[in-house]
């Protein structure tokens, strides 16, 4: 018997019939036996002893070997997707990712209709982009398909629509993008202060585009007319026939919140765009020729602000000197006066300011502020800035009253 002589080898035979061997030949068993054909199969096995005797045949049924990959398709409607998952044996799970790599974990299926071999599952996107829906069947076979969620399905705004506007409040205001895309940023600086019939210089205007991600925050400072916020000034002072008003505040947008524009002197790369404020108006009531001169403030920029005015017919007789304009690289010149040591010089993010002991008029704030006028001459306008945006431009003297900001969606991106 084989028990006495010892086992020489084991043999197996695979058949589609449960009735025993129906053709073919027995195969010697190696370390393992692999069945690679789909469907129900029967495996028979026997032993052969060293003495050549063959044992009786035993058999087992192996059912539903599955090598067929499942299929998946996606029907997109806005940000809602219905997946159709199919398999010849049964679907066991699905997953949504942003890569073609087979996921390590699978979500439970929420079946809205169908059976385990034909499943409909619903999924809602939270942001735009290209996605991969993976499916797995009960045998562990996987497959995937791709689909795209358009940005317009996520965003509540359409290109060309105004998303936000901001007016002067005296503080920094926050803007959060509702969706990823390119936005047009428009800023207007504030007008300088009026003095009687003399008008303060109008604020400048700057615009440009900026690509922003969904949920990105920007920080907005809107200048005010004849107020101190964002580098303006609120003085309205006069003596001995010389009078002046304060300069207008700059308007800026930045990617961080450091407060007023002047605080970004060491962080200029965080500033996206600036519009300059206008200079304060002046008045000279001259005792020499008995005339009154009303002097409009210099307009805000723009690439450069506008220089202030002084009474030209009295040049050299009354000592009036206008404020000089802010530029892209420096602040406007203003005359020194030994009797007013507290006068604030113009600089980055600030306009020149008259002290209470002087007869200066305020310069407008900006990327660089305009200088203050002296002895009733008007203040100069501050400059604008568009270094943090693309496709931008600047122009002088476009805003009456307080500053303003407008943000418009130009295009969407995934």
Q: Which of 121-135, 235-249, 300-314, 400-414 has the lowest mean pLDDT?
A: 235-249
**Are residues 298 and 365 in contact, defined by beta-carbon separation less than 8 angstroms?**
no
What does the pLDDT read at residue 230? 92
**Tens-digit pLDDT profile for residues 277-335:** 999 998 887 656 678 889 999 999 999 999 988 877 655 455 667 888 899 988 766 54
For position 341, what pLDDT does the model report?
43
Strands 203-212 and 373-374: unpaired
**Residue 92 tokens, joined:** 């066991």
Q: For residue 335, what pLDDT is reported?
A: 47
Whole-number Å distance between alpha carbons of 113 and 248: 65
pLDDT in tens, 374-410: 778 889 999 999 999 999 999 999 999 999 999 999 9
Residue 344 has pLDDT above 80, yes or no: no
More confident residue, 54 or 289: 54
User: DSSP label at 391?
Assistant: E
| Rounded-to-integer distance, Cα 83 and Cα 204, Å | 54
Read off the pLDDT band of 336 (50, 70, 90).
Answer: very low
Q: What pLDDT was estimated at residue 332? A: 62
Count of residues for the chain?
Answer: 414
Tokens (6 digits) for 381: 């306008």
| Dihedrals phi, psi of 302, to nearest 5 degrees | 80, 165
Residue 5: the pLDDT is 73
- 0.85 surpassed by pTM: no
**Residue (of 228, 260, 205) closest to 352 by Cα position:** 228
> Are residues 202 and 278 in contact, defined by beta-carbon separation less than 8 angstroms?
yes
**42 or 188, greater pLDDT:** 188
Say whether pLDDT at 276 is over 90.
Answer: yes
Radius of gyration, CA atoms only, the chain = 40
Tell me the C-alpha distance between 254 and 194, whole Å.
29
**φ, ψ for residue 105 (rounded to 5)?**
-135, 155
Region class of 397: left (phi > 0), else alpha (psi between -120 and 50), else beta: left
Q: What is the pLDDT of residue 333?
A: 60
């Amino acid at each position: 018997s084989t028990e006495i002589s010892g086992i020489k080898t084991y043999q197996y035979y695979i058949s589609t019939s449960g009735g025993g061997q129906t053709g073919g030949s027995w195969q010697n068993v190696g370390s393992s036996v692999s069945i690679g054909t789909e469907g129900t199969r029967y495996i028979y096995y026997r032993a052969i002893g060293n003495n050549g005797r063959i044992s009786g045949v035993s058999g087992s049924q192996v059912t539903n070997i599955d090598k067929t990959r499942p299929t998946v398709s996606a029907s997109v409607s806005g940000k809602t997707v219905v997946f159709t998952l199919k398999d010849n044996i049964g679907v066991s799970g699905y997953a949504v990712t942003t890569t073609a790599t087979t996921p390590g974990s699978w979500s439970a299926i929420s079946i809205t209709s169908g059976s385990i071999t034909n499943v409909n599952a619903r999924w809602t996107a939270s942001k735009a982009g290209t996605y991969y829906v993976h499916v797995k069947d009960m045998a562990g076979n996987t497959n995937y398909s791709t689909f795209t969620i358009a940005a317009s399905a996520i965003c509540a705004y359409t290109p060309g629509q105004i998303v936000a506007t901001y007016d002067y409040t005296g503080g920094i205001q926050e803007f959060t993008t509702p969706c990823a895309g390119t936005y047009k940023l428009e800023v207007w600086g504030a007008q300088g202060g009026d003095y009687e019939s003399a008008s303060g210089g109008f604020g400048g205007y700057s615009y440009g585009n900026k690509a922003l991600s969904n949920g990105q925050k920007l920080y907005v400072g809107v200048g005010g007319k004849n107020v101190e916020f964002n580098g303006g000034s609120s003085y309205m002072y006069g003596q001995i026939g010389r009078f002046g008003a304060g300069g207008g505040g700059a308007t800026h947008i930045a990617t961080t919140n450091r407060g007023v524009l002047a605080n970004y002197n060491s962080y200029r790369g965080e500033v996206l765009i600036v519009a300059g404020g206008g200079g304060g108006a002046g008045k000279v009531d001259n005792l020499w020729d008995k005339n009154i001169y009303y002097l409009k403030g210099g307009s805000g920029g723009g690439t450069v602000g506008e220089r202030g005015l002084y009474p030209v017919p009295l040049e050299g007789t009354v000592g009036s000197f206008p404020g000089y304009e802010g530029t892209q690289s420096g602040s406007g010149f203003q005359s020194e006066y030994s009797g007013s040591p507290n006068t604030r010089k113009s600089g980055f993010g600030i306009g020149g300011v008259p002290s209470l002991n002087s007869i200066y008029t305020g310069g407008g704030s900006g990327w660089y502020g305009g200088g203050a006028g002296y002895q009733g001459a008007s203040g100069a306008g501050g400059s604008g800035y568009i270094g943090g945006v693309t496709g931008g431009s600047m122009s002088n003297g476009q805003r009456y009253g307080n500053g303003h900001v407008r943000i418009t969606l130009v295009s969407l991106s995934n």
